[in-house]
Each structure stands twice: as structure tokens, then as C-alpha cells.
Structure 1
């Protein structure tokens, strides 16, 4: 039978790497005092589509339950965790999770994630801990070729504030910025002040190292709100560089890709192919639906991508014991003599080259024993 679009079978290395990545994440997050949390894979759609969370129902796998309510397969961990911990005591701040999300607007319907959420903490502490946890985790799984990107939702929002756009106009402009479409930005703002249009068009190319921040500190010298954002980003860059991370870039023209983001945003890219290995950011406003004014920040790792980029190592050698139905039990007992090996029992071997050693069960003086060939 064929599979639905977005579904796929997996075997071997990808699964092994993903399991290894999962176990390393559990250890790293536990040692950094994150408390594990799990939410149901089936949730009410409203958890993700309410006015504050703002996610698009069209991209979700959904159905009507017997009571006429729309249920979905979990499309997002952050909104689900927020629902789960909203009534928890605020003394505990750090949460970690592992599991799949399901979206129809991705290359694969199912995407395995591991992530962290830090709530009710000092804002800079939360952001720092997110990024430093990401750095440690990538180091532990052996991924060294990556770059961290920083952005901020309020830059775009502050610049367009004088335009007083309606929601539809703002979203169209946001998408044009997201897609780096200078021509479309100019078209959408053709009837608005030239200086704002030019500022946004130039912002699309505001991408690179800390020199970009230096440049915009001069450009925005008379705009204290934007200068404060630049100072915030520079402070994070200084922290990362002080811990030995040199590959940090900024994208001042980046806009939020999830409606509930409302502050600093960060992503990690694998430098060998440009794929995203983690993403996240600040989302304080998400907790307003629970009548809470608090700080909240988190990030999620794409475990499928991490598994693809992990170096595959055979930690154990592979041995084969050739037996028969009558001698199978003898071969099984011999496993204890090969504790450092993967042991495969076969009756016939078609490809000896895949084994580092081959053993045979023989009869010697009316006694069975296992000998190496």
C-alpha cells in the first residue's frame, strides 16, 4: 500500500540517531534543571487557533468529535505546554518536552521535536538559558558546524506603527518581509510615506554580523525604542561570544513566523546545508489568555534534522554465530561470552562481509561448543 502525502517509513541509521539524540537531550535538560512535561497528542483546536495563539486551522490535521468540537493532532508544543502549566505554581520555571507535532504545511506531516520552555523567569536569564542549553546540546550530539541567528519582532512592528495598517494589510506586508520580497514591499507601501517604505526595504538586507548592529545604531540614533532592541541583541551576542560561540549573526528584517512571538527570536542553522536545527523566541503574550502577565521564552530542536547530521558510529562490532535449529540454544548461551558485540544468530550467511567475526557451533567429542572461524 502507498502512504499518504507527507508520511514515510524509516529504517536503520535515522532511527538510531534519533533515539540517541533523544537520550542526550534528556540528560542535558535534566542536568540543567528542566522538568519533563508531556501533553496529549490530541487537543482541542481552540488551544492553537484562539485569538492570542493565532495559528491557522487549515494547516492542522483535524476532525469533529462526537460533540461537534474540532480536535487536532498537536501542531505546536509551545501553546500546548502553556495550556498545561498555566495553573502550575509559578515557582517552577523550566520545562522540557519531546514528541511529534503534526502539520500539513511542512515537508513531512510528522515532525519530531525536543524543546524547552522557560516561564516566569527574568527575561534575559530565560533567553540566555535557552541559547546556552542549545549550545550544550548540539555539542553533546557532535554537531559543531552551525550558526545562531538573532532577530526581534518589535523592529518591524515599531517601524510600521505610524502607518496604522489594518490586520489584513499588516499580514500581507509581514509575509512580503518574511519572503524577502523587496518589490512586493514597495508595491504594498506605494501610497505610504517614502521614508517608511525605504526603511523596510533596506531592512530586508540588514543581515550579517555585529557590524549590522553598529550601522543601525547610527541609523536609529534618534529612536530610543529601536536602540534598546539593538542593545538587547548585542548583549546576547556578547554572552554567546564569551562562552566560545563565534558564529552569531543578526537578521534585523526578520518577522515572526508564529503569531504569538513578541520579542527576541532565534534560530540555529547547520552550515553545511543551511537547514534549520532549532528555532524559538519570546512569547509573553501567549499567557494573556490565562490572565497572566509574565515572561515566557523557549526553543524547539528539529530532531529529524539533527539525526540526519549526526555522525554515525558503530559503537559495537558485529559478530555472527552460525547455528542450526538443534544448536540454536547453544548459540544463544554464547551471547554472554561476547558482551561487547552485536550478536546475530543465523543458520546460513549470505554476506559474511558485514560481520567482523563469524563463529560456528560444532560437535566435538559429543559436546557442542562455539568456535571462531
Structure 2
């Protein structure tokens, strides 16, 4: 009644954890030589809806400005950062950011993110640094029960490429693959006049799991060098992650891009206790073509709201109350300043439902004030 759908108030632990997550991210990325960047929360819609970014205007919070142009609340960091750094010298490769994105197609309209972008770097180096930074950050948050999933946009593109679909048909097919709807995939390709495509696409939906999936499809695709190259690339990243101590790495060969600008490796992190996605990202070289740049670009974003829900609560310090009066408030304040490790509250009267570990009082002795424990 008092808030729009998708908006919410917050108090307490969730906010505290999110602030801790933000500071942890700042420190982790600083030590890994990322340069911080921030973009405006209000942008022109075209930054996100142009042919290269390809995002859906209907999912954005938008309005017309005084000149009749459409402005939006930032729906995506990657496209915004690409606009911001396109003119930067290519020696600047590693960027980090923190802030909210706003979309109607999410459970909550506002979603807090922290992420990294690596541009102009060796392709494998960028992907490796993205994933290893994710591992370092989760370790810093003491979150160690997660699974990393790897996929690649090139698999779907290579299999569908020889067949003709109009833009609308392809979008519907992508949605069906994303939702792993075997029945709908078969229906779409059959109605489009390509029934022979149903079997390989439906099989891809179940091509999900351990390294054995790669071995199975390496045999199945032995006559398709482009697909074999993709499998080798995924396996190389799996080797890296396992060498870094990640024991839960899976592949999803049937995964398709959830954002139009992805054009290569894709990765996600899932928390094993409830399956929620804590980070996602991938390669998006083509996004920079709108700036007449042929370069490499890869990154990932953490869902800070999700991470905050799964962080251990911070150890609460001792909570103390100092009873004072308007005349002795300054004395109590000096005592509070000296107690750096505790939470210190000053009150003039102790409430019946007060919850403190210790209570002190400002008293006067020999014409001097001092603070004593009650």
C-alpha cells in the first residue's frame, strides 16, 4: 500500500552485512589492481537498447526528459561502463564498481551489485582473473559452499547457425532453451520448418554436470572443430578452477545467453544451501563494436543482496549504557570516546525494556564528575 511493487524497507543485519560485503569487495579488488569506477544512476535509454547492447526497454524504469528523450534508471552496469571507458587508454584494463541496478523483470526492482570488468587483456587472462577474483571475494566473506558453472554462447550459435530463424523465433527459442523446456524447444523448431534440429537442441538441455559431459560431447562433436575448440576452452578453465581449490565445478553446454551482448564463455556461481545465484558474468567483446573497437571484454557481477543474506552475522560487541543528565552529557561523551571496542549508548533515564550488558552512571564526588558502573 505504501511502497511500489518490488520496493522494500530494510533494517538491521541485512544492511550491516551488505556494508561489510561492500568494504570487503573494495579491499579485495584494490589488492588485485582494479580501478574503481562509478556511472550515473540516470542514463539515456539508448546506452542499453542500442543494437550491440540489445536490452529490452520494457524492463527498465524510464521517463521522457524535457527534450523528449528517454532516460532510465541504470538497468545494467556492463553497458554503462563500456560507454564510460570506451575512450580510456587501453593500458587501463581492470575496473571494479558497486551500486544498484533497476529492472522490472526482477523480484525486487532495485538490486545491489558489485562487479568487475576486464578489457583489452588477453582473453584467457581476463576470464581467469574474473573467476579467481570471485573465489577470493567469496573466501573473504567466509562463503565456501558454492558451485561454479561454465557455459558458452558459441555452442547454441554453432548448432542453430545453419538454420534460418527470424528474430522473433530466435528470441522465443532462446527463452525456451534458457528455461530448459524440451517440449517447447521441439515445438518451436518444428513449426519453423527445422524438425531435424529438435534432437540436438533437446539433448543439449540435459548436457549438464561434471567433466564427463565434456568427454561425451567431444566424441559426439568430433567432426566439428569449432565445437571441439569450445570444449577445450571450457576444460582449460575447469583445470584452472580445480587447481585454485574449487572442488565444485560443473558445465552446462545447453546454457544460452541471458543478456544479448554475451558472446563467448559464460559463468555463474550458485550457493549450495539454497541454489541462489551469487554471481554471473561472461565475455562480451561485441559490446565494444559500437565504439569502433575490436577488443576483448569480460566481467562478472555479484548479487550483494544475496551474499548479505548468506553471510555469518557479525560478532556483536559489548553493549553499554551510560546514564547522564543534560549537565553531565559531555562527561559521558568523553567516556564513550575512550571505549573504542564497545557499543556505547547515552541515556538520561533507563527504560524498563533496555538490553545492555553493562550500565554506567555519571556521578559527582568531591565536586568532580566520574563514571561508575551501577
Indicate whether the TM-score tops 0.5. yes
Mapped contact 2:186–2:195 kept (Cα < 8 A):
no
Distance 1:340 1:144 in 2: 29
SS of residue matched to 1:30: helix
Write the mapping of 1:342-357 to structure 2, written as runs, cut at 5 A: 342-350=343-351, 354-357=355-358
Distance 1:274 1:354 in 2: 37
Distance 2:19 2:295 in 1: 34
2:203 paired residue number: 202
SS of residue matched to 2:331: helix
CA positional deviation for 1:358: 1.4
Mean alpha-carbon deviation: is it higher for 349-358 or for 339-348?
A: 349-358
1:311 paired residue number: 312
1:211 paired residue number: 212
CA positional deviation for 1:193: 4.7
2:255 paired residue number: 254
Distance 1:248 1:358 in 2: 52
CA positional deviation for 1:350: 3.0
CA positional deviation for 1:48: 0.3
TM-score, length of structure 1 as denominator length: 0.97
List runs of 5+ in structure 1 lacking aligned partners.
none
CA positional deviation for 1:194: 4.5
CA positional deviation for 1:230: 0.5
Distance 1:349 1:257 in 2: 56
CA positional deviation for 1:353: 6.7
2:323 paired residue number: 322
CA deviation map 1:143-190 (0-9, x unaligned): 111111110011111111121211111111111101110110111122
Q: Specify whether residues 230 and 351 from structure 1 end up closer, same or farther in structure 2 by C-alpha distance, changes over 3 A only.
A: farther
CA positional deviation for 1:8: 1.0
Across the aligned residues of Structure 1 and Structure 2, the Cα RMSD in angstroms comes to 1.4
CA positional deviation for 1:327: 2.3
Mean alpha-carbon deviation: is it higher for 176-185 or for 5-14?
A: 5-14
Distance 1:32 1:161 in 2: 39
1:38 paired residue number: 38
CA positional deviation for 1:326: 2.8
CA deviation map 1:285-320 (0-9, x unaligned): 001111111110000011111111111122522111
TM-score, length of structure 2 as denominator length: 0.97
SS of residue matched to 2:51: coil
2:282 paired residue number: 281
Q: How many residues align?
A: 373
List runs of 5+ in structure 2 lacking aligned partners.
none
CA deviation map 1:209-232 (0-9, x unaligned): 111111111111111111110100
Distance 2:164 2:154 in 1: 15
CA deviation map 1:15-46 (0-9, x unaligned): 11111111111111111111111111111000
SS of residue matched to 1:115: strand
Distance 1:222 1:319 in 2: 73
Mean alpha-carbon deviation: is it higher for 333-342 or for 192-201?
A: 192-201
Mapped contact 2:318–2:342 kept (Cα < 8 A):
yes
CA positional deviation for 1:283: 0.2
Write the mapping of 1:215-294 to structure 2, written as runs, cut at 5 A: 215-294=216-295
CA positional deviation for 1:352: 6.4
Distance 2:336 2:199 in 1: 72
2:187 counterpart of 1:187: yes
